[in-house]
A and B are shown apart, each in its own frame.
Chain A
Amino acid sequence: MSTMATSKTAGGGQVLLQASGLSKRFGGLQALSEVSFSIRQGDIYGLIGPNGAGKTTLFNVMTGLYVPESGRCEFAGHVLTDYKPHQIAEAGFARTFQNIRLFGNLSALENVMIGRHVRTRAGVLGAVLRNRATRREEEQIEARAYELLEYVGIVERANDIARSLSYGDQRRLEIARALATDPKLLALDEPAAGMNPSETVVLRQLIEKIRGDGITVLLIEHDMKLVMGLCDRVLVLEYGKVLAEGRPAEVQHNPRVIEAYLGAGAAKELGITATQEEQA
């Protein structure tokens, strides 16, 4: 969209989200311990780590689905850790889900229209009387929903039932629904999961377009090529702890990350091995 999308100058913007000391325990499992990081405005921020590292837990803590035992999460002047999920969405933090959570029996269009709920006002009286303001609002909701379906590239499926869409289209519909809430920060939980390589390329372009339109992106992803190519900064979690944080290139060469997360095989694929790194 704009030229901003292509420039990858990280660290230019102000801090949009600041998490400090987030901890979450499930019974005997310390899912998150003292996780701190900050996301700058306009960045694409990657969150990686092996399965069970606590990435999705961190998402759920930040979006209010889980209450952390300790820690604080500040976002654009709001303290998210004091908020309920719907207030967090209202503050401008939208998310998608790892195991897609669309309103499966509703059409794609209706899904996105529901996303507009938080930015619209009509109540019972407006609905019953359907006065001019309500009619206009409804028209705007529908128009915006079509616009967003167009934006993510599935407008031709607008009247299809969400559950009948292909996996990749469902992922994109979730993004459209999240964008409908006019977010400042869009958090994507493994958006490329289950996508084929060509779909992943389209997804990558979409994420860049979203960032280009001024929305900060937080991305959990297993597709290393996608993460390393796309993100301005990356946070690596393991066993609920921050293992490393920095630019993709730095993280990629961090011996602890290579050893703990990527493993020897993947490390070789990247052209560096832990032993080389240690010798250097």
Chain B
Amino acid sequence: MMDAKKKPVPVRVWLGALLIGVVLAVLPFVLGMAGQSWIRTLNFALLYVMLALGLNIVVGFAGLLDLGYIAFYAVGAYVWAMLASPHFGLHLPFWVVMPAGIVLAALFGVLLGFPVLKLRGDYLAIVTLGFGEIIRIFMNNLDAPVNITNGPQGINRVDTFKVGEFVFGRAETFFGIRVTGPEKYYYLLLAVTLLIVFVCVRLQHSRIGRAWEAIREDEIAAKAMGINTRNVKLLAFAMGATFGGVAGGLFASMQGFVSPESFSLTESISVLCMVVLGGMGHIPGVIVGALLLSVFPELLRAVVVPLQQSVFGEVILDPDGIRMLLFGFALVLVMIYRPEGLWPSAVRRRERKMRESQA
């Protein structure tokens, strides 16, 4: 790691990066030929990458199991929805709403962090799970006596992302090329995702990242080395929550609608699955995990129904049902054959090896 930094980057890497760049740039237009819904799938995949990277800070770097992570996504989404929709008649610009969402999500991260400072493992998981549910239930019920969240109906007609006169939700024609709303969002989401990846990489290889690794490896030793474990843990929760809040705000603006059911426990678990399946603590692995788990079900949906229709002449198995079945099956397989994730970091691979040699 240290030596790699000093070596000049080989041409191959540059070419690879260039190729990936080109693919990412034209991807929506290629996918758009198969239907606009694929672009939406892609956009959601990017949102999940953001969420998975955020959760990876808490779970992968700092080793704190968080089952209520989606709460921060919810906070970000609801802040956007409340400050930029007819619900309160507020239509604040993105540079007010986005920071507000981020700050509030980070605040909620710290709020969750404080009571769980001394918990680890199973106990931590249970408390964070409860926290996630509390947020969702609050959003479900904060419509009386004062209507804040509009309860289970959710908030409608949320403003789209708008920079000056440039509106992301509307199709436009540039130089004779028609660019749809989802396509515009794709580039926005891609830019934010790349920024988050950059921040994650920088954090990982820093004094802060090392402190997170230290508390994951041995909290008592970390304390004895002068690491303020309370602050470092709270920072992990806050940073993770920040990315969740960003993703939430973008989600609300893209979707134009938020309701509590988007933020169920299942969503938290999905994001956690992405992190675990991809490879905890390893940024490329986590990205791959998020892309696979978010695109794969849609792919399946596109395949399962036509396949059954052609074979049986009718739909016997509901695609949603079989989707979860295959999903679970895939996870079990991964956990059996690659328990450290599809693309684990070197550290995790070592952990596994140690455990095997001890057994």
- Chain A interface (Cβ < 8 Å from any Cβ of B): 63-65, 84-86, 89-90, 94-95, 97, 101-106, 109-110, 113-118, 120, 122-124, 126-128, 130, 134, 137-138, 141-142, 159, 161, 163, 177-178, 180-181
Measured CA separation A116–B207 after assembly (Å): 9
Do A141 and B207 touch across chains, with their CB atoms under 8 A apart? Answer: yes
Measured CA separation A277–B1 after assembly (Å): 62
Interface size on B, residues (CB 8 A): 32
Contact partners of A89 in chain B: CB under 8 A? 223-226
Measured CA separation A46–B63 after assembly (Å): 37
Do B208 and A86 touch across chains, with their CB atoms under 8 A apart? Answer: no
Do A113 and B210 touch across chains, with their CB atoms under 8 A apart? Answer: yes
Do B207 and A106 touch across chains, with their CB atoms under 8 A apart? Answer: no
Ranked nearest first, the 4 interchain pairs of A and B with the lowest CB-CB distance are A118-B226, A89-B226, A127-B206, A103-B217
**21 sample A-B contacts, Cβ–Cβ < 8 Å, listed by A number:** A84-B223, A89-B223, A101-B221, A105-B217, A106-B217, A106-B347, A115-B226, A117-B211, A117-B225, A117-B227, A118-B226, A122-B207, A124-B208, A126-B206, A127-B203, A127-B208, A130-B206, A137-B207, A159-B2, A163-B350, A181-B226
Do A105 and B347 touch across chains, with their CB atoms under 8 A apart? Answer: yes
If A103-B218, A117-B210, A159-B3 are given as contacts, then 11 extra A-B residue pairs at C-beta distance below 8 Å, sorted by A number, are: A84-B228, A85-B224, A86-B223, A86-B229, A89-B224, A94-B224, A101-B220, A105-B350, A117-B226, A141-B207, A181-B226
Q: Which of B207, B213, B235 contacts A103 (CB 8 A)?
A: B213
Measured CA separation A105–B211 after assembly (Å): 14
Q: Which of A95, A116, A137 contacts B224 (CB 8 A)?
A: A95
Q: Which of A120, A128, A178 contacts B199 (CB 8 A)?
A: A128
CB distance from B217 to the nearest CB of A (A): 4
Contact partners of B227 in chain A: CB under 8 A? 86, 114, 117-118
Do B2 and A115 touch across chains, with their CB atoms under 8 A apart? Answer: no
Q: Does B127 contact A (CB under 8 A)?
A: no
Q: How many residue-residue contacts, CB under 8 A, span A and B?
A: 112
- Chain B interface (Cβ < 8 Å from any Cβ of A): 2-3, 198-199, 202-203, 206-211, 213-214, 217-218, 220-229, 235, 239, 347, 350-351, 354
Do A104 and B354 touch across chains, with their CB atoms under 8 A apart? Answer: yes
Contact partners of B350 in chain A: CB under 8 A? 105, 161, 163
Known contacts: A105-B350, A118-B227, A124-B239. The answer to whether A65 contacts B220 by CB under 8 A is yes
CB distance from B58 to the nearest CB of A (A): 15
Do B203 and A124 touch across chains, with their CB atoms under 8 A apart? Answer: yes
Measured CA separation A94–B218 after assembly (Å): 16
Measured CA separation A110–B209 after assembly (Å): 11
Do B206 and A63 touch across chains, with their CB atoms under 8 A apart? Answer: no
Measured CA separation A223–B47 after assembly (Å): 60
Contact partners of A120 in chain B: CB under 8 A? 207
Do A103 and B226 touch across chains, with their CB atoms under 8 A apart? Answer: no
CB distance from B348 to the nearest CB of A (A): 8
Measured CA separation A113–B211 after assembly (Å): 10
Instruction: Look across to chain B and name the residue whose beta carbon is closest to the beta carbon of A129.
Output: B202
CB distance from B144 to the nearest CB of A (A): 40
Measured CA separation A149–B58 after assembly (Å): 31
Do A104 and B210 touch across chains, with their CB atoms under 8 A apart? Answer: no
Do A65 and B354 touch across chains, with their CB atoms under 8 A apart? Answer: no
Do A114 and B213 touch across chains, with their CB atoms under 8 A apart? Answer: yes
Measured CA separation A123–B208 after assembly (Å): 7
Do A114 and B222 touch across chains, with their CB atoms under 8 A apart? Answer: yes
Do B225 and A90 touch across chains, with their CB atoms under 8 A apart? Answer: no
Contact partners of B239 in chain A: CB under 8 A? 124
